[in-house]
A and B are shown apart, each in its own frame.
Chain A
């Protein structure tokens, strides 16, 4: 019995199977050292190899709550595997970002994972500063899109994958509640333009391409106002 299962499943492969993205999601613990949240905190506060100038907290806040004014996202309470993958993708370029890509490349995979472990354990908090109060009817339209989608544009409800209240479903479908509106806006545009393409099978790109500018602003405003 054990031999059947322990032979694992490599004897059955299908041509063209795109398992790379999924494969990453298992911990690729490098030989360089075991990731720990304590190491993550060190980097978050002290900056790691890049020095204090690139300490995470300087942009993402001491509680990892993000900065709405500057559109730096909340990290506190996000799923650890999701966060580690984002760091990996910043480094590899499948999620290119002028600020984060160089930082991520300076850190290796064990440090990506340590940072992720640290932030995942922080209590989720909303960014305290709101840029401007959102237009009520825009937020309402965002809520409708989030919960129901749009028949006219062929967009399904965001909630299907991101869960009720934007809390996320699991390591693949992240929490998006209480993220700065400008941050969500920028991400949706990046998905739409194909600049960001680090999800599985291009679902977010396909969804974002169906969204109008107003849809993007509406969903961003809605998500920004949710509890984390």
Chain B
């Protein structure tokens, strides 16, 4: 029998970036707020200091900062004709856990989706005609525009001290930035990162082809910075231990460094760690959330009643909770009915490698998570799609994130996978190789979706979330196209050898790709095809809001965090200014 606690105004499920933003904003209205984090507390000091933090085996291979599959994992299959089996070892994606969530161990690439990304169906129809959208692709407009989100992008970027150069400043195209981006109201808070050698070699090649290279907008501080919350960060030391690690220097924008200290100052906010939420409880009619059920660190079941429940638990976990709680109707690909679980998307990645003579020292270990040079010429609809047969695109970049040797020891094609020649090739090429990345969009289809697994349950007895996904033919066509563009660049970068590979199919959960899992609780204007409205409020249970990339109707060719942050500020503004004054559906 669960212990029922005294009611509070707000329960936040998950204390990563979106949970922290919700807490910070709502606490200012005097609401009583409980933040439930399934993991533990951690902070820059002492948890992320050298040398212990820079342990590649522990953090990047054994995945100590990530969700432990023993407690909770997902099942996976490529299509409905197969039986889904558990993901027994985390690999293709690495969901975070503990206070701060993935905001602790992310790389820091911070983008804004393009104006056209928020209205893909309308945009492609207007420009190319409805026939230009392949039938398999179920894109739909988001219900919110770039212009509406612009002030919220700006706010998130200033919160996080993003280093970059505006490419479009109030409609004026600026040198040094992304000429394709939507208009910004003001410059970035900090200047861009200076290019690394790999980025400069890439940039020169792209300039020869007439493209416009610029530095990736970075949440690794480029200067000392005090953000609008009054929290101070340091310039990034370019240590090469960014993704999968916490930052030792207070130089990466994480909830701990940019917002949580302010959250904790509020007397009406309470953090509960080791609090694993299993379900949101609904009233008899299933139209109102009454409480959140969780298991504490001692294994006790606790019921926390609340007026308002906000799911901030990462896209996959949000959808799992909705399915296991009955918030909205589960999507069925056979009938097309239901909204929870539909439009699951990922990211479509490919790579090229340039091998240089041994007097060209690349020094890959001098890296930072978002240190990279990029072209956006083949992202979104920044190029003419006429006759290409696909929608979407992606950016192409040369990143220098680090050279940690267990993961990074490139060898040219034809090198054996082990033995003396492998070892010699590793020695020869480690410090003389540049990797390029194509980071392509991910379109929804009828058959790619999330659902409750019928067989496998997590350690708390809840059905695991089942992922049914394979790359749509649209995305493979898109990816081949941008991989060809990437290869053209690689071939004029001055190396001795270039290796390149198209995206391997079918989608496999074995090699790491990204942790950009999106959709499943998408936003929109039509309650029949989306789970939340344009303010991220559940259509079915109005006192539940669902943050995060679960809201994306499709994934653009960018890292999602910037857009996740903007949507969080947009949503919480609506909660404060509209919902709290008049609780109920914000959109009829």
Contacts and interface: CB of A to CB of B under 8 A. Distances in A.
Q: Do A and B share a complex?
A: yes
A202 interface: yes
B195 A12 contact: yes
The B interface is mostly helix, strand or loop, or mixed, namely: loop
B360 A154 contact: no
| A-B interface, 3 closest residue pairs, ranked by CB to CB distance from nearest | A4-B494, A201-B235, A12-B203
Contact of A151 (B45, B204, B214, B496): B45
Interface in B184-221: 191-192, 194-195, 197, 200-201, 203-205, 207, 213-215
Contacts of A201: 222-224, 235
14 contacts: A5-B360, A9-B197, A12-B213, A14-B195, A16-B192, A17-B194, A22-B194, A148-B45, A149-B49, A151-B45, A154-B232, A156-B49, A156-B248, A160-B249
B44 interface: yes
Q: How large is the interface on A (under 10, 10 to 19, 20 to 34, 35 or more residues)?
A: 35 or more
Contact of B232 (A17, A18, A206): A206
Contact of A148 (B49, B176, B232, B496): B49
A157 B247 CA distance: 12
B215 to A, nearest CB: 6
Interface of A: 1-2, 4-5, 7, 9, 11-12, 14-19, 22, 147-151, 154-157, 159-161, 164, 200-203, 205-207, 210
A157 B45 CA distance: 8
Nearest to B205: A4
B165 interface: yes
Contacts of B197: 9
Nearest to B207: A11
B175 interface: yes
Contacts of B214: 14
Contacts of A4: 201, 204-205, 492-494
B45 A150 contact: yes
Interface string B225-247: 00000001011010100000000
B332 interface: no
A200 B237 CA distance: 10
B284 interface: no
Contacts of A12: 195, 200, 203-204, 207, 213, 373
A149 to B, nearest CB: 4
B578 interface: no
B455 interface: no
Contacts of A200: 235
The residue among B165, B213, B249 with the most chain A CB atoms within 10 A of its own CB is B249
Contacts of B237: 160-161, 203
The residue among B197, B207, B237, B373 with the most chain A CB atoms within 10 A of its own CB is B237
A42 B197 CA distance: 39
Contacts of A148: 45-46, 49
B45 A156 contact: yes
A93 to B, nearest CB: 21
Contacts of B46: 148-149, 151
Contacts of B92: none
B194 A19 contact: yes
B50 A157 contact: yes
B176 A14 contact: yes
Nearest to A209: B232
A5 B493 CA distance: 8
Contacts of A164: 51
B43 interface: yes
A155 B204 CA distance: 39
A157 B222 contact: no
Contacts of A155: 45
Interface in B400-439: none
A172 to B, nearest CB: 9
A156 B250 contact: yes
A216 to B, nearest CB: 17
A156 B176 contact: no
A22 B197 CA distance: 14
B298 to A, nearest CB: 26
Contacts of B234: 156, 203, 206-207
The residue among A9, A19, A206 with the most chain B CB atoms within 10 A of its own CB is A206
Nearest to A149: B45
A222 B194 CA distance: 35
A150 B205 CA distance: 45
Contacts of A17: 191, 194
Contacts of A154: 44-45, 232, 250
B372 to A, nearest CB: 12
Contacts of B360: 5
A1 B495 CA distance: 7
Contacts of B195: 9, 12, 14
Nearest to B213: A12
B15 to A, nearest CB: 18
Interface string B345-380: 000000000000000100000000000010000000
Given A12-B200, A159-B51, 20 more contacts: A1-B494, A4-B204, A4-B492, A9-B197, A9-B204, A11-B203, A14-B191, A14-B194, A15-B165, A19-B194, A22-B194, A147-B49, A151-B43, A154-B44, A154-B232, A157-B49, A160-B249, A200-B235, A203-B237, A210-B232
